[in-house]
Structures are given as C-alpha cells and as structure tokens.
C-alpha cells in the first residue's frame, strides 16, 4: 500500500499493541497514556484543557476519564470558581507509575525502530514531524 495515511494508521496500531503489552502490567491502557502524560506534567486540569492538549473528541475524552476514574488513576474535584467544571487529578497510584509508564512507552517506541541506525531513526522522526505539521493545515 502506497498511502501514507494508511501506513501511519498501521504504525499507530502497531505502537498501541506494543504499548498495550507493556502497559497492561502497570494498570493503564494506551488510550489513557496521553492523558496521563498531560497530568504528570500539569496535574489538576479541567476536561476542556485536557481536550485541547490531547486533541481527541469530547466523547472519547469523557469515556477515557470515566475509565481512568474507575481504574483508580484519576479523581475529579469541583472547580473552585466554575461550578460547571471539575478538575482532574492523578491518584497517588497514578503518580507512582510515571517512570515505569514512560519507560514502557520508550521501550515500545524503540521496538518499532529495531534494526534502524541512529540517523535513520532521527530522519524518520523528522519526516513524521513534517507530515504532522502538514496534517494540521488540512
């Protein structure tokens, strides 16, 4: 297949499978990982802020947060000034898994580049960044 979009989709699926194997033992799913990354960087965001940072559909975010709450990864607290909003915080369990989760993602990423020379990996990443910039313009 010569479609870049199709190949990118297959690559994302491969990464998700690779991360899933590593993440399952830690207690999170690949779909939760971007939310975890944002909260590790800046805990206590609103759902709207998370939506802007993670760039997924609102319904997907709501479902992801519900699953994360069910799984004991986040807790929601009332916003101090906006009665319609809630702040999303990591639980102590989620905070302690950061290093292991980031390592798992790094391992999954490196597995995709198995057999690549360093310059090939760096060049591929640069091409992907350029493709993503082009995709933002569409």
pLDDT in tens, 63-77: 999 999 999 999 999
Same domain, 19 and 58: no
Q: In this predicted model, what pLDDT tens digit does every residue of 1-35 receive, in sequence order?
A: 678 889 888 988 888 888 888 888 899 998 999 99
State phi, psi for 89 to the nearest 5 degrees: -120, 145
Give the pLDDT of residue 8: 87
Instruction: For residues 10 and 4, give the distance between their C-alpha atoms in angstroms, rounded to a whole number.
Output: 10
Same domain, 34 and 87: yes
Indicate if the pLDDT at residue 55 is higher than 90: no
Residues in Cβ contact with 65 at an 8 Å cutoff, skipping those fewer than 6 apart: 35, 47, 50, 74, 76, 88
Instruction: For residues 64 and 68, give the distance between their C-alpha atoms in angstroms, rounded to a whole number.
Output: 6
Same domain, 37 and 17: no
Same domain, 115 and 87: no
Same domain, 35 and 14: no
Give the pLDDT of residue 2: 79
Same domain, 35 and 79: yes
Question: Cβ atoms within 10 A of the Cβ of 8, count?
Answer: 14
Give the pLDDT of residue 60: 94
Give the pLDDT of residue 123: 96
* Residue 80 burial class via C-beta count within 10 angstroms: exposed 0-12, middle 13-18, buried 19 and up: exposed
Question: Cβ atoms within 10 A of the Cβ of 67, count?
Answer: 15
pLDDT (average), residues 89-108: 94
Same domain, 44 and 73: yes
Same domain, 114 and 84: no
Q: For residue 44, what is the domain's CATH number?
A: 1.10.10.10
Same domain, 81 and 102: no
The residue range of the domain holding 44 is: 29-91
Count: domains in the chain: 2
44 band by pLDDT with thresholds 50, 70 and 90: very high
Domain boundary among 54, 69, 91: 91
Same domain, 38 and 20: no
């Amino acid at each position: 297949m010569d479609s870049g979009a199709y190949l990118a989709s297959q690559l994302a699926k491969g990464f998700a499978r690779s991360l899933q194997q590593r993440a399952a033992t830690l207690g999170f799913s690949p779909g939760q990982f971007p939310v975890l990354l944002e909260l590790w960087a800046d805990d206590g965001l609103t759902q709207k802020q998370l939506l802007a940072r993670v760039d997924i559909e609102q319904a997907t975010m709501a479902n992801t947060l519900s699953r994360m709450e069910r799984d004991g990864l986040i807790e929601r607290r009332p916003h101090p000034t906006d009665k319609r909003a809630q702040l999303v915080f990591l639980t102590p369990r989620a905070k302690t898994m950061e290093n292991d989760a980031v390592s798992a993602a790094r391992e999954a990423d490196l597995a995709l580049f198995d057999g690549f020379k360093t310059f090939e990996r760096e060049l591929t990443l640069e091409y992907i960044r350029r493709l993503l910039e082009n995709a933002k313009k569409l």
